[in-house]
Each structure stands twice: as structure tokens, then as C-alpha cells.
């Protein structure tokens, strides 16, 4: 009998997680029963309790339940604790062990898939919300020369920096502070592209040979990526690799075998044009 796993969200019918995890299971020769759960708002706890009672072994969590999952967990990884959100859980008896693999997936996509090592680089992270918070520790573990976190509300970026200031050279700024600064990697972790908007970043932030990365994926050239391209940036990437890699991290965590992500990335990639 296959072990039961699922992704919970609302809405959830659009999710590609079952397709992806199915491809990973096939590639590794393992069997899993992976489905979707459209959770009712305000009913996260009884929904997960029922899933566990029926043999559920693990979950991916997507919007709007990442904070509910954070509260439900009995054990939080350091990454999940810093992010204040959970995107994967596994159940071992009474233990609910929670992780946040978004930042790990992002770093793996940058370093391994896009061949952009972060060690010694100047990295600019736009935004200080949940997506950015999940990325900070994995970024600092790569030992960049400097990680700059930029947010409209500077105090939010400062609060985040205060929690990790002992981990590396990390700085909080507002958009007005970016003039005259240049970076090797610029990551848009804001929600601006969801609304077809552009974060107020100056073109001067893109250094020669810069990589401009957009967390949103499957939308082609977002306003941010188009802005970067028009500013002369040659290497553009969206978050398809991050999505595939964080799913692979969860699969590895659950099953102890790491799947190859190349086929999934090829299948999900939308040309940036």
C-alpha cells in the first residue's frame, strides 16, 4: 500500500504538486499516494487531524495555510521558525515536524541549475515578507559578500536582519537607499508581479553580468523581468526551478531519496519572452 501524502490549500485545483511528486516517485522507483486537499477556511486543524487519522504521512502546505501549519507543528526547523511559515510537514506518531523549503529550493536553483554560486557575491533581496524570510538563512549559508534586504517598510527588513545579524554581512535598507549600489544577484521576493506591478528599484542596482530572478513562475516576462531586461540584464530567471527544487527537498525529507529535478523543470518552464 502506498504511503499517503498531499498538498493542502484553498484554492488548490490549479496545483501542480501531484504531477511533480508523481514524477519524482516514478523517477526514484518509489510509490506514494499524493493528492490535493482543498481545506475549508478556519478548519485546518480538524482537516489535518482527519488526514493523519487516515494514514497521512506528510503534507505540502500552500496559501492560505502556511501560518496555520506553523501553529499546528510540534517541532519547527530553524528555517521555518525564522520564516514564521511552514510549507512541509511530516507526521511521526504524535510528532508534527515542520519545515520551510522555499529558500533552500531557491538557493539550489541559483547555485546548481543556473550556475550562479553566491559565495563572495553581493545579493539584493527585494521584499521582507514570508518568501524573503524563508530565503535569508539559506542565502547566508552560501557566504555572500553581502546580503541586502530592501523593503518599502524598512522596519520590517530591520526586524529580519536583527534575527540573523550574527550569520553574515546582512543589511536592511529602503528603496531610496539603493541609488548608486550595484549587485551581482537581484531577487524579487515581493508580491508586485502578482498585481502586474514593479517594485520601485532603480536600474543602477544591476551590475555587469547580473542575474535578475523572479520568484513568480510560469508567467513569462513579468514587469520586474522586463524592467531588468530593458536595463541590460542578460541572465533572467523565474521561480520554476525554485518550485521544482523545494518539492524535491520535501520528497527527499519524506522518503530519503533525492529525485532529479531536470525533467520537471523542463516540463514546467515557460519561455521568458
Kindly report the number of other CB atoms within 10 A of residue 190's CB atom. 27
CA dist 6 and 169 (Å) reads 38
Radius of gyration of the chain (CA): 19
Q: In what order do the strands lie in the sheet with 183-188?
A: 170-173, 146-150, 122-126, 183-188, 206-214, 235-237
Q: Which residues are catalytic?
A: 66
Of 18, 19, 47, the closest CA to residue 34 belongs to 18
The four Cα atoms 33, 5, 243, 163 give a dihedral, to 10 degrees, of: -170
CB 169 within 8 A of CB 150: no
CB 66 within 8 A of CB 85: yes
Question: Please, which residues bridge with residue 3 across strands?
Answer: 32
Q: In the 8-state DSSP scheme, what is residue 111?
A: I
Amino acid at each position: 500500500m502506498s504511503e499517503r501524502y498531499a498538498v493542502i490549500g484553498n484554492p488548490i485545483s490549479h496545483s501542480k504538486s501531484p504531477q511533480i511528486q508523481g514524477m519524482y516517485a516514478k523517477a526514484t522507483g518509489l510509490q506514494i499516494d499524493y493528492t490535493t486537499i482543498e481545506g475549508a477556511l478556519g478548519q485546518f486543524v480538524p482537516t489535518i487531524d482527519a488526514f493523519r487519522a487516515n494514514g497521512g504521512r506528510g503534507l505540502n502546505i500552500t496559501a492560505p495555510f502556511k501560518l496555520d501549519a506553523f501553529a499546528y507543528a510540534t517541532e519547527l526547523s530553524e528555517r521555518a521558525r525564522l520564516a514564521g511559515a511552514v510549507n512541509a510537514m511530516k507526521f511521526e506518531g504524535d510528532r508534527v515536524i515542520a519545515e520551510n523549503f522555499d529558500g533552500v529550493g531557491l538557493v539550489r536553483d541559483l547555485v546548481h541549475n543556473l550556475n550562479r554560486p553566491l559565495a563572495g557575491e553581493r545579493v539584493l533581496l527585494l521584499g521582507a515578507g514570508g518568501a524573503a524570510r524563508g530565503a535569508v538563512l539559506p542565502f547566508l549559508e552560501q557566504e555572500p559578500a553581502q546580503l541586502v534586504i530592501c523593503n518599502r517598510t524598512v522596519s520590517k527588513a530591520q526586524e529580519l536582519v536583527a534575527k540573523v545579524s550574527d550569520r553574515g554581512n546582512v543589511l536592511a535598507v529602503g528603496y531610496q537607499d539603493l541609488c548608486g549600489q550595484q549587485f551581482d544577484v537581484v531577487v524579487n521576493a515581493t508580491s508586485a508581479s502578482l498585481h502586474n506591478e514593479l517594485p520601485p528599484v532603480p536600474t543602477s542596482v544591476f551590475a555587469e553580468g547580473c542575474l535578475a530572478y523572479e520568484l513568480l513562475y510560469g508567467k513569462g516576462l513579468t514587469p520586474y523581468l522586463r524592467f531588468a531586461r530593458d536595463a541590460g540584464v542578460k541572465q533572467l530567471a523565474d521561480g520554476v526551478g525554485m518550485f521544482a527544487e523545494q518539492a524535491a527537498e520535501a520528497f527527499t525529507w519524506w522518503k530519503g531519496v533525492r529525485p532529479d529535478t531536470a525533467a520537471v523543470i523542463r516540463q514546467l518552464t515557460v519561455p521568458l519572452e
